[in-house]
Chain A
Amino acid sequence: MAGEEVVLKIRRFDPSLDERPRVEAFAVPLKEGMTVLDALIYVKSRLDHGLAVRFSCRMASCGSCGMKIDGRARLACETQISSLPRGAVAVEPMDNFPIVRDLVVDLERFFARHAAAMPGLVRERDPEEQESPTGEYLMAPGELESFVQFTYCIKCGLCSSSCPTASTDALFPGPQALSQAYRFLADPRDEGEERRLERVDAEHGVWRCHFAGTCSAVCPKGVDPALGIQLLKRHVMSARSPFGRKKRRGAPVFPNPNGDLLGQP
């Protein structure tokens, strides 16, 4: 290991200066347990301060360092260089997003689509409960289990950057937003079913997914967006059918006997 080097072939692009992207190679001394993010930080601190790369937690929790490594969307911080094939490592920004500079992409529209999926409980009968809670919503452990995996999403964008539909369909919400739409449709506390269905059962909605499954293959948190989207399709079909099973909706509030939610009388 000592004395060995790894070559990073980084795609550089500054839309305000460059006509087209170019690839620059950097040799980085290899260390045991080195991740691609470690190598990029070495490049930025020692070899080229101008390299634009976004990162924060370095432990696959924040979802900032999504990029394409050796042709596949991954988090740089949890990709060990030793896990990649030998030879130079190709590092590129994620597909399907506008490039801000180098490896940093513009996630604004991605977050807007997440917001459009209404990622919060919609309550009709007690809207004031959300602002000033008097207790907790009653929910069985099995009901929680039916959607909890989709709450693990860290919004890194890897899924939407790998989706074949998202590569051409500018109006497609993408795997992230669709799996979040399912997460709330499956939630027994939610009462926004009609509005949610109108949004996903549209020309450029859930039916533009054809289960290529790459979103789930690249997801770093086991959210399995493809599973959420297929279950969303079933939910839409069931809701649109006169014979479909209807889910329990609008779980009641269980008043906290101790006063407010912090348990203070």
Chain B
Amino acid sequence: MAGWFDPRRTNIERWAYTFQRVTGLAVLAYVVAHIGDTSFFVGGPFGEGPSRASWAAGLSVTESLLGHLVLVMVVLVVVYHGINGVRLILSEYGVIFDKPSRPDYPYRAKSLRAVQRHLIWVAIVGAILAALYSGGLLLG
């Protein structure tokens, strides 16, 4: 599995690929946990309807410094995964590449110098800005 996490001395798209996997797994883990914690609104696994007491108990766990730090991290990885995902869809539909053409020395790959490369930076910067915003909201 080392090949998935070995982006040494290659291209930024390889980093984007590794991040996309890691953030995807992180978001899935959070979503499953979030479906668990939101169920406290109806009293947890054995509840029967909206319950103020159960919801307050649930919030007492999630509304903590640790809970808020997790939320900020989730915002960071969700925004990255989303923007980078849009880049991948556009790339896989081949719409943000130049047409193929006869290659010339020094043979720089066109697919790695197209608009898609800028979108990786949009994803990184967007994710950091969103995390800073939510951090100011939740931790500030």
Contact = CB atoms under 8 A, between A and B. Distances in A.
- Say if the two chains contact directly (CB < 8 Å): yes
Interface of A: 70-72, 95-96, 145-150, 152, 162-164, 166-168, 210-214, 216-224, 226-228, 230-231, 233-234, 237
A222 B14 contact: no
Contact of A167 (B2, B110, B111, B112): B2
Given A149-B100, A164-B14, A233 B111 contact: no
A175 to B, nearest CB: 11
A27 B73 CA distance: 49
Interface in B82-116: 88, 91-95, 97, 99-105, 107-112
A233 B103 contact: no
A220 B11 CA distance: 15
The main secondary structure of chain B at its interface with chain A is loop
B121 to A, nearest CB: 15
Nearest to A213: B13
The main secondary structure of chain A at its interface with chain B is helix
A227 B100 contact: yes
Contact of A214 (B11, B101, B102, B103): B11
A162 B112 contact: no
B3 A221 contact: no
Nearest to A207: B92
Contacts of A227: 94, 97, 100, 109-111
Interface residues of B, number: 36
B46 interface: no
Most A-side CB within 10 Å, residue of B94, B110, B112: B94
B35 interface: no
Contacts of B105: 222
B100 A231 contact: yes
B112 A230 contact: no
Contacts of B93: 230, 233-234, 237
Contacts of A219: 107, 109
B17 interface: yes
A216 B110 CA distance: 9
Closest CB pairs A-B (n = 4): A167-B3, A222-B103, A222-B107, A213-B13
B23 interface: no
Contact of A222 (B9, B13, B16, B109): B109
